[in-house]
A and B are shown apart, each in its own frame.
Chain A
């Protein structure tokens, strides 16, 4: 197969390489200060192997500040302490509750650790 040379291929790997003015060769003053870009996973996820994302498709949970189309971050390894929000199964259906003594019988699926709502 004939392959045409595409000039810019070589630049791909250096995501955090500072821009260098090629004409003069002056290095960027930021050269030694660059860090990886902020990654939401670092802040929102503690146990990746137990974390699942779930989308809310209901307006029923506004009172828990979960709006329609919100993404729930669920960490199944977080203990279901009183007062936590949790995704639970009641009679074969998913539902969201705040854990307290008055809850109906449920099976815990996982504790909700963050709610990503769209700002309105």
Chain B
């Protein structure tokens, strides 16, 4: 059996742990740069008269009028609480697959004399006790069914956030009451295709002959079909695969016109992504940089451009990458525009150990590697960005994201602890 444990409105819940005055009240969390709502708790979702996914400036007054509390996103806090939740899960099974920041599969194989409903309750209660984060638990023979069980756990109040599919009768009952389009892994195109031939529920889908499923929905559909019938096809993935591409792009807090400020922001993003490369002991072959204005603005002149360079030797060196990025920026930047965003992407990721030189250059590893290791260890000890390339400049205030309503980083900064007054 497999359990899917999923945190309820995770970002909003993280904020509420430290704000008992907001318990039971509507809370929303804003995207990077406070552009729009990315998470809302149950109380906020209940305010259906508010178009939650409109840009924030359009609905801010409506939110305030309905006593909704807004938070800028505080990923430092969410990341830390996520780690605590996942660590707690490891007390319940030796095999945990972290699926996303707020969701994990845990393997319950071999728990034969365990009442799984009880066990699910215990998981839920322990996580809440340790971290203050509410969760839902779905338990079933396969991942796809566990995902379904989780959805049911959250919906019906009678289940108290834990639901187990442990008999065929229950499985069939659940499938009969599940629309095919809401199945994890069924895309919109496939849902339409299935509905066109009269398949509306998950149960109807599982009753189709396998050769037909294979023909119409390929091997992906076959796997789903088997999983829904209780035959596990998706394995637990405990070790995450190294990323194929690493990138970051954030809107500036204010529109920028000057090349030098854009270069500073870009250098900062490069420092962030190259740190990820080094942490997973990889190098990148290609660097991709893009720059654009605000395409939603009607008053601004529009311009966008991008360029990719192949690095002479694959690297994870911040300084080399900044130099290359600056070259690109000088080529694609045009004066006279109000820029909104610069972004960097690193692709062609290969293990550090496989880096080859070419006829003219050999990988200059030693000196650079030591310097980068030192920078990384200082930053992990004293805080992000404490030591960085001079190219990142000192004018971060002029381009960094707007995080007007960010909560304190309660668990990582002495200066921002929760206080009792």
Residues of A within 8 A of B (CB): 1, 3, 5, 9-10, 12, 47-50, 52-58, 71-72, 76-77, 87, 89, 92-96, 107, 109
Taken together as a complex, chains A and B put the C-alpha atoms of A48 and B83 apart, in Å, by 11
Complex CA distance for A87 and B323, rounded to whole angstroms:
52
- Asked if B377 is at the interface of the complex by the 8 Å CB criterion, the answer is yes
A9-B374, A52-B411, A109-B20 as given contacts; A76 in contact with B417, CB under 8 Å: no
A-side contacts of B373, CB under 8 Å: 12
| In the complex, per-residue mask of B76-88: 1 if CB is within 8 Å of any chain A CB, else 0 | 0000000110011
In the complex, which range does the number of interface residues on chain B fall in?
A: 20 to 34
- Which among B128-136, B186-194, B200-208, B353-361 touches the partner chain? B128-136
CA A53 to CA B374, docked complex, whole Å: 29
Q: Which of B126, B129, B371, B420 contacts A55 (CB 8 A)?
A: B420
Most chain B CB atoms below 10 A, which of A49, A71, A77: A49
**Could you tell me if A54 and B377 are in contact, using CB atoms closer than 8 angstroms?**
no
B residues in contact (CB < 8 Å) with A = 20-21, 23, 83-84, 87-88, 126, 129-132, 319-320, 323, 367-368, 370-371, 373-374, 377, 410-411, 414, 417-421
Q: Cβ of B420 and Cβ of A1 under 8 Å apart?
A: no
Q: A residues within 8 A CB of B410?
A: 52
How far does the Cβ of A112 sit from chain B's closest Cβ, in whole Å? 10
- Cβ–Cβ contact B130 & A47, under 8 A: yes
Q: Is the CB of B411 within 8 A of A77?
A: no
How far is the CB of A36 from the nearest CB of chain B, in Å? 16
Q: How far is the CB of A14 from chain B (nearest CB, A)?
A: 13
For the complex, what is the distance from the CA of A43 to the CA of B131, rounded to whole Å? Answer: 21
Residues on B with beta carbons closer than 8 Å to the beta carbon of A76: 129-132
Q: Are A77 and B130 in contact (CB under 8 A)?
A: yes
Taking a contact as CB atoms under 8 Å apart, the answer to whether B319 and A55 are in contact is: no
Q: Which residues of A contact B377 (CB under 8 A)?
A: 12
24 A-B contact pairs sorted by A residue (CB < 8 Å): A1-B320, A3-B319, A3-B371, A9-B370, A9-B371, A9-B374, A47-B130, A48-B87, A49-B87, A49-B131, A50-B84, A50-B131, A53-B418, A55-B419, A58-B420, A76-B132, A77-B126, A77-B129, A77-B130, A87-B420, A93-B21, A94-B420, A96-B420, A109-B20
User: Given known contacts A10-B370, A89-B20, A93-B21, is B129 in contact with A50 (CB within 8 Å)?
Assistant: yes
- Which 3 residue pairs are nearest across A and B when measured between Cβ atoms? A50-B130, A89-B20, A92-B21
Decide if A56 touches B374 in the complex (CB within 8 Å).
no
CA gap between A96 and B323 in the complex, in Å: 55
Residues of B within 8 A of A1 (CB): 319-320, 323
Chain B residues whose CB sits within 8 angstroms of the CB of A58 once the complex forms: 420-421
Q: Do the beta carbons of B323 and A52 come within 8 Å of each other?
A: no
B368 contacts which chain A residues (CB < 8 A)? 3
Of chain A, the residue at the smallest CB distance from B18 is: A52
Instruction: Find out whether the CB atom of A107 lies under 8 angstroms from the CB atom of B20.
Output: yes
For B131, B320, B418, the residue with the greatest tally of chain A CB atoms inside 10 Å of its CB is B418
Q: Is the CB of A52 within 8 A of B367?
A: no
Q: How far is the CB of A41 from chain B (nearest CB, A)?
A: 14
Contact B420 A54 (CB under 8 A): yes
Q: What residue in chain B is nearest A61 (Cβ atoms)?
A: B420
User: Considering residues B20, B21, B126, B410, which has the most beta carbons from chain A within 10 angstroms of its beta carbon?
Assistant: B20
> Using Cβ atoms and an 8 Å threshold, which residues of chain A touch B414?
53
* Residue in chain A with minimal CB distance to B414: A53
Q: Contacts A3-B368, A94-B20: A55 and B417 contacting too (C-beta < 8 A)? A: yes
Contact across chains for B23 and A92 when beta carbons are under 8 A apart: yes
Q: How far, in whole Å, are A55 and B319 apart by their CA atoms in the complex?
A: 40
CA distance A20 to B84 in the complex (A): 41
A116 to chain B, nearest CB (A): 11
Chain A residues with Cβ below 8 Å from B371 are 3, 9
* Apart from A9-B374, A53-B417, A56-B419: 4 A-B pairs, beta carbons within 8 A: A50-B84, A50-B88, A54-B420, A87-B420
Residue of A nearest to B418 (CB): A54
Q: Which of B21, B319, B410, B420 has the most CB of A within 10 A?
A: B420
Query: Do A95 and B420 have beta carbons less than 8 Å apart?
Result: yes
| Distance between A117 CB and nearest chain B CB, rounded to angstroms | 14
User: Closest CB of chain A to B398's CB: distance in Å?
Assistant: 25
**Across the two chains, which residue of chain A brings its CB closest to B86?**
A49
- Complex Cα distance A116/B132, Å? 23
Cα distance, A54 to B420, chains bound together (Å):
7
Inter-subunit contact A54/B417 (CB<8 Å) = yes
The distance in angstroms between the C-alpha atoms of A71 and B418, with both chains bound, is: 10
- Point out the residues of chain A lying under 8 angstroms from B374, CB to CB: 9, 12
- Indicate if the CB atoms of B421 and A57 lie closer than 8 Å: yes
Bound form: Cα–Cα A13–B13 in Å = 40
